[in-house]
Structure 1
Amino acid sequence: MTNGLLLVFSGPSGVGKDTVLHELLHQNESVRLSVSATTRAPRPGEVDGKDYYFVTRERFQEMMAQGEMLEYAEYCGNYYGTPAGPVRDWQKKGYDVILEIEVQGGAQIQEKNPDCVSVFLLPPSLEVLESRLRHRASDSEEVIQKRMESACGEILEAKHYDYLIVNDTVDHAVGQICSILCAEKLRFSRADANIERMLNYAKTIK
């Protein structure tokens, strides 16, 4: 069985990452979404192993020291990161694993895993992005402006990703991600091992 792909998926707040991934998972049974680990306490309704892996600070630091984290960062006094074990297990079973992650974590993943595929989700325009943030009706004007400033900085990092997808409609974005997964699996570099096995077998039947 061929290992599944590791896909880094990033984009600014308000671009629709969660909506796109929810539909992708609904349409494609061969895709899994990685679960992050954190040292913060669970919030009401959050489930360990589904929303996050909730671990102690000591355990998280131990995982860092032993190289068990694909990436990690400290934010507001708590650690957040992606445990390598579950991701590798899924890949070995042939599942494509998506890491929904901010650009700093995405850079760590790409550096440590040069064979990963990276996708950046863009809004149709900054005006549309601002409109989506405002329609949430949950943030103050100050917060919206800070999110827009942050979005501009993140979009500048899109040049470091393999693929750019404009989220004009959810169906279109999901279709493009599926096309990317299919195309990546047809790369010669990924099929090289299978070709070598076929050639070795051919030698035995001459």
Structure 2
Amino acid sequence: MTIRVLIADDQEMVRAGFRAIIDAQSDMEVVADAADGVEAVAQARRHRPDVCLFDIRMPRLDGLEATRTLLANGPGPRIVVVTTFDTDEYVYGALRSGATGFLLKDSGPTLLVEAVRAAAGGESLVSPSVTVRLLERLTEPVVRGPRADEVLTERELDVVEHVARGRTNAEIAGALFVSVSTVKTHLEAVRMKLGARNRTEIAIWAWEHGVVG
């Protein structure tokens, strides 16, 4: 199956570079690109890509608003927002708006390809260490509704804590001495209980509710 990708960035060189990398992959193709957020939304609706790469800062409509617009009425493409990390304070909002994850703008070709494949496969983020840094920087534990231990079982909380620390299913399985399939079962139960769309939202919930400290 070929992963169909849309690239939206106001810098032509960035779009061209991303296109060259993605089109060089046997399992990917760029179906469209856009120079601003309004065009990105229109192109996404027209071409129905599997994955969108949205620059956070774009003319007319930024990546955050473009993400909200596309996902406002239900499931849409997997959206990875592109950030410079040190200056973009909007990433947390993008993740809360339904973006699958984010990519550092200066990431190399390997990470870009991994980001697209991860998003297409339903994974939330490519670089776990960056996930943790982002969440630590942009969130503080808050109490919203029932306590975490009133919503999830003790083992589910164990799994969620590892997810929030950016660990993969295999790493979680190793740490908890269970199989990867068991980890997946727990994560699906967690996702259903929390109404989360992906691992990112599970991680955000964990940080917001003090599961990770």
Question: Larger relative CO (CA 8 A, sep 6+): 1 or 2?
Answer: 1
Q: TM over 0.5: same fold? A: no
More strand by share: 1
TM-score (norm: length of structure 2): 0.37
- Bigger radius of gyration: 1
TM-score (norm: length of structure 1): 0.38
